[in-house]
Amino acid sequence: MLPARGQFRIMDLVIRSGPCMRRFALLLSLTMLPLAQAGATNLDTATAGRIDADVNTVLARTGTPGAVVAVYRKGELLYRHAYGVRDREARLPATPDTWFEIGSITKQFTAAAILQLQEAGKLSIDAPLATYLPDAPHAGEVTLRQLLSHTSGLPEYLDGPDAEAFAIKPQTPAAVLARVAGKPLDFKPGSRWSYSNTGYFLLGRVIEVVSGQTYDQYIREHLLEPAGMRHTYTMADEGRLSPMAVGYRHEGGQLQRAPAIHDSVGWSAGNLVSTIGDLQRWNDALAGGKIVRPAHVALMGTSVTTTEHGSADYGLGLFVDKVDGQPRIGHTGGSFGFTTANEYFPRQDLRIIAFTNNGDNPEPGEMLTRVIFDQLYPALAAAAKRPAAGADPAATASDKAAFAQIQNGKVDGARFGARLTAKLQAGLGKRLAGQLGPFGAPTDFIYKGTRHENGMTWRDYLIVFGPGSTLKFGFGVDADGKVASISMN
């Protein structure tokens, strides 16, 4: 339900990253090192070996018990492997047929269902939510398109200190929506982008009202069955699925079984459970026009534009961004015990799917897709890490020190402007330390250039933490030479 990438902005801080509900931890060793268990490859031995090595490095560094990856080029299987264990206590190996929770990858199914209903003349994505759910929070202020693109401004129902306790118990739709009822919008609809599970929960209710079927019935009849997906279920079915992976996360540095989000809470925002093979059937069916018309497929993968910040890097149920300078369309997913990624690179006609049974952040699922892409296209990866000319060693040293303070949550204010210092010391610093600390110490701090925006000089870097783990980070420096703003992508 929780993506690895996205965008939100807080005053002097610009962040492109998903809202974080998980515990953050990063181990440098494993009790059981994940080794390849089963697989198939049409790659040369050297490339397959490098991918295996990098995948195992990511799994070991993140303490991930098991993973399954698959790569398709032009729709044909190029590489598939299972690593480690699906059940650590029983020492049961992961296999290509293992079921994993796919979290927010579910959102593209919800989006496709809404577009199907528009094609059938039963709704319009530009109509106000009130047309279909008049009693929903802010129903007269937001449109279905804004719900689909996370530009509605609706507050998040999974926020708050009690979010986990709420999420693991069965809930009614009324109880879910009561968590946001009465709260103001976070911003004017359409003006910004902020990831919102609330929007997709409401879309599930719209599907039910318009179709006359339950959400699960509609998805199975109109999406899963036409796509030939016979191995995709919901969280409610996990007890009868075998082989089903067990979800884990780190607590206090120790790997533990993670609690499960209840199906009624994840629901249309993230309740599907699938296999890599079935997810590829979905990819083929969607791209092939079997689910919605080609024009709507294109719309899903076209970034919306916000009035305040331009491109949202998100379409309708799909992220739209770049890796190594190459366009990427897809989605990540996460629950308390799983992180997954389903990524498409249109220039290469390449699809990479990665499932893991580790719910930590930074998310191993997306990291695996990154290392695989880098090994398949090493020249692109090398070019992306090439430093820009004109770096000032003293400025870079200062920025490294500033990043270390942010990462460690020990901001002393000497390097930062007064306004940003106040925000960091008021709680933002703790939040960023929780998000950035688990990445570990950077292995490289690559200068990518200087720009001038909003009266500040911005110095941009690519910060590398290991295979598949990088951040684009910028420091906005004011006239006094202090960091007045930061950005992260």
Write down the architecture of domain 107-215 according to CATH: 3-Layer(aba) Sandwich (3.40)
Confidence tier at 436 by pLDDT (50, 70, 90): very high
Average pLDDT over residues 88-107: 98
Position 25 scores a pLDDT of 29
Cis-peptide, bond into residue 243, ω within 30° of zero = yes
Position 38 scores a pLDDT of 59
pLDDT, one tens digit per residue, over 34-77 is 444 556 778 999 999 999 999 999 999 999 999 999 999 999 99
Instruction: Say what the alpha-carbon torsion angle 482, 487, 488, 489 is, to the nearest 10 degrees.
Output: -150
Average pLDDT over residues 115-132: 98
Q: Kindly tell me if the per-residue pLDDT of 20 is higher than 90.
A: no
Active site residue 196: no
Average pLDDT over residues 233-259: 97
Position 321 scores a pLDDT of 96
Burial of 290: CB neighbours in 10 Å, binned 0-12, 13-18, 19+: middle
CATH level 3 topology of 19-104+237-262+271-383: Beta-lactamase (3.40.710)
Position 17 scores a pLDDT of 38
Q: Which two tokens mark 71?
A: 């790569």
Q: Which of 462, 478, 459 is nearest to 470 (CA)?
A: 462
pLDDT, one tens digit per residue, over 366-393 is 999 999 999 999 999 999 999 999 999 9
Q: Kindly tell me if the per-residue pLDDT of 15 is higher than 90.
A: no
In the chain, list all ranges with CATH 3.10.450. 393-488
Average pLDDT over residues 253-257: 95
Q: Which residue has the higher pLDDT, 5 or 102?
A: 102
156 residue type, one letter:
E
CA distance 65 to 133: 43
- Residue 311: which H helix or E strand, with range? strand 310-311
First to last CA, the chain: 19
Q: Kindly tell me if the per-residue pLDDT of 82 is higher than 70.
A: yes
In the chain, list all ranges with CATH 3.40.710.10. 19-104+237-262+271-383, 107-215
Judge contact between 227 and 209, C-beta under 8 A. no
Position 344 scores a pLDDT of 98
Position 31 scores a pLDDT of 35
Position 454 scores a pLDDT of 82
Confidence tier at 4 by pLDDT (50, 70, 90): very low
From 17, 29, 104, 149, the catalytic residue: 104
Triad 195, 198, 201: Cα angle to 5° = 120
Q: Kindly tell me if the per-residue pLDDT of 13 is higher than 80.
A: no
pLDDT, one tens digit per residue, over 321-340 is 999 999 999 999 999 999 99
What backbone phi and psi angles, to 5 degrees, belong to 182? 90, -15
pLDDT, one tens digit per residue, over 216-238 is 999 999 999 999 999 999 999 99
Report the percentage of the chain scoring pLDDT > 90: 87
Q: Kindly tell me if the per-residue pLDDT of 413 is higher than 90.
A: no
Q: Kindly tell me if the per-residue pLDDT of 12 is higher than 50.
A: no
Q: Which residue has the higher pLDDT, 178 or 32?
A: 178
Q: Which two tokens mark 469?
A: 């783990």
Judge contact between 333 and 355, C-beta under 8 A. no
CATH level 3 topology of 393-488: Nuclear Transport Factor 2; Chain: A, (3.10.450)
